[in-house]
Structure 1
């Protein structure tokens, strides 16, 4: 089987567990990992893949042959991702331009959810500019979202003042003018997490249905190994709020699914128990086997 995972510790654990179970894994070098998503969703390589939580929700909504393996590979605060180079703040978002890499980007879905949920922003009163499409071919962005001209770059438009705000995570450029639009954003994020009982999840692990059916025992061994890595990292403080098991992921995935539906990122509701049922059917196991 083929594997794409960004974290070396998760990859090493998965490879060792698979080899012991008798089905070796070959780790593919794909950077950034989201570039593997399109092939994964359409039944190609890899068989086990780190991908974004919103891509998972779209995949389920559009009937793609992939299922959730309940391991988080990237969990982080998101309130700090709304940035500006001006004296504007989160209170000024309505009526202004906001750039985001893709409408279906998970960071953008979380941040827009916070804008509506915590700050009362009417998302349709914002001039949204997106620069890329998503990973699911069947999906189209809402009609109230604008697309930047081909060849334009989010970071360049933002730094040169053609955008009032940007939503950026790992792609945030280095510039002393940039500051968060939400005052004390990390403190606000920590309080949101404390209130909810979970932090926003960006990336999880997925498995192709074909691999799950053909190699159930190996996939479950990979889950066990990754679960142990996540637990050890969380205990040592090395990983930020990562978790494993269906019940640990129920809160963040359900919240993201609600945000995604409100923002027309998915065409229908996706209930968490639907994800659980699909995974258990493909692997031939009960939910308790995977932390349910």
Structure 2
């Protein structure tokens, strides 16, 4: 079984569990981990792969053989990811330019959802620029989103003033001029999560349908191993940072799916129970086996 997991502790737990279940694991060294998504989704290049939550939604909406294993490998607040260099604020997004790495990037989907739902921003009244396409073959940006010229870089366009705003998480440059467009963004984010009852999940784990059929026991063992590591590392707080199990992930997936549909990231609604049913049917288990 070919595994792609970004965290060494999760990879070690999954590898050990898979081996004990009778399969031979191979961890693929792909860094950053999101670079594995395209091969996993379109070519089943891995059997178990860390993927973004929106990648799972797009894959299912486009009929790809991808299943959800309900563990969170990356959860984080997102309100701080909308940044600017000038005196603009979140209320100024309409009529201005905003750059984001990819329209389907999960950080961007969360942030645009906040803009629309919390701040009343009409997303179509901003000028949106993306720098790369989706991981999922067949998924396209909406007609009202433009692609940057070949060779252009989000960070450079932002720092050199060709964009008024940028949505950036891990790719945020180090520059003292940068500030968040939302005042007290971290406090706003924490309150949002308390109100919603969940963290904005970024990465979960996907499984290929072929692997589910051939290695169901090993995949279930990997789930148990990853779950144990995450449970041991979870810190006390109003909401878990790494929710595990179908019910624990329901809120985040349902909200992300609604945002993605509204933004044209997916062309059809994806109901969370569809994901649950597909995984359980492929693995031959009831939902409660995976926290349902």
Distance 2:179 2:235 in 1: 32
Aligned partner of 1:70 in structure 2 is 70
Distance 1:235 1:91, change over 3 A: closer
Under a length normalisation based on structure 1, what TM-score does the superposition of the two structures give?
0.98
Distance 2:37 2:116 in 1: 28
1:84 aligns with 2:53: no
Pairing of 1:249-268 with structure 2 (within 5 A): 249-268=249-268
1:235 Cα deviation from its structure 2 partner: 4.0
Distance 2:138 2:123 in 1: 23
More displaced stretch, 16-25 vs 179-188: 16-25
1:24 Cα deviation from its structure 2 partner: 2.1
1:19 Cα deviation from its structure 2 partner: 1.0
1:240 Cα deviation from its structure 2 partner: 6.9
Aligned partner of 2:211 in structure 1 is 211
Distance 1:229 1:174 in 2: 32
1:170 Cα deviation from its structure 2 partner: 0.3
Aligned partner of 2:291 in structure 1 is 291
1:132 aligns with 2:132: yes
Aligned partner of 1:271 in structure 2 is 271
On the 8 A contact 2:21/2:218 being kept in 1, the answer is yes
Distance 2:173 2:231 in 1: 32
Q: Name the SS for the 1:42 alignment partner.
A: helix
Distance 2:274 2:230 in 1: 24
Moved over 4 A (4+): none
1:101 aligns with 2:101: yes
Which deviations, in whole Å up to 9, do the C-alpha atoms of 1:6-48 show, x marking residues without a partner?
0111101001111111112111110111111111112332110
Q: Name the SS for the 1:266 alignment partner.
A: coil
Distance 1:228 1:83 in 2: 36
* Aligned residues between the structures: 291
Distance 2:103 2:53 in 1: 14
Which deviations, in whole Å up to 9, do the C-alpha atoms of 1:256-278 show, x marking residues without a partner?
00000000000100000000000
Aligned partner of 1:55 in structure 2 is 55
Aligned partner of 2:244 in structure 1 is 244
Distance 1:187 1:214 in 2: 46
Distance 2:281 2:247 in 1: 17
Pairing of 1:178-257 with structure 2 (within 5 A): 178-235=178-235, 241-257=241-257
> Cα RMSD over matched residues?
1.2
Distance 2:117 2:236 in 1: 33
On the 8 A contact 2:14/2:226 being kept in 1, the answer is yes
Aligned partner of 2:280 in structure 1 is 280
Pairing of 1:92-171 with structure 2 (within 5 A): 92-171=92-171
Which deviations, in whole Å up to 9, do the C-alpha atoms of 1:201-257 show, x marking residues without a partner?
0000000000011111111011011111111111478x9711110000000000000
Under a length normalisation based on structure 2, what TM-score does the superposition of the two structures give?
0.98
Structure 1 unmatched ranges of 5 or more: none
Distance 1:276 1:58 in 2: 16
On the 8 A contact 1:85/1:159 being kept in 2, the answer is yes
Distance 2:235 2:278 in 1: 30
Structure 2 unmatched ranges of 5 or more: none
Distance 1:44 1:262 in 2: 28
On the 8 A contact 1:71/1:204 being kept in 2, the answer is yes
Which deviations, in whole Å up to 9, do the C-alpha atoms of 1:64-102 show, x marking residues without a partner?
011000000100000000000101100111000000000
Which deviations, in whole Å up to 9, do the C-alpha atoms of 1:163-182 show, x marking residues without a partner?
00000000000000000000
On the 8 A contact 2:61/2:266 being kept in 1, the answer is yes
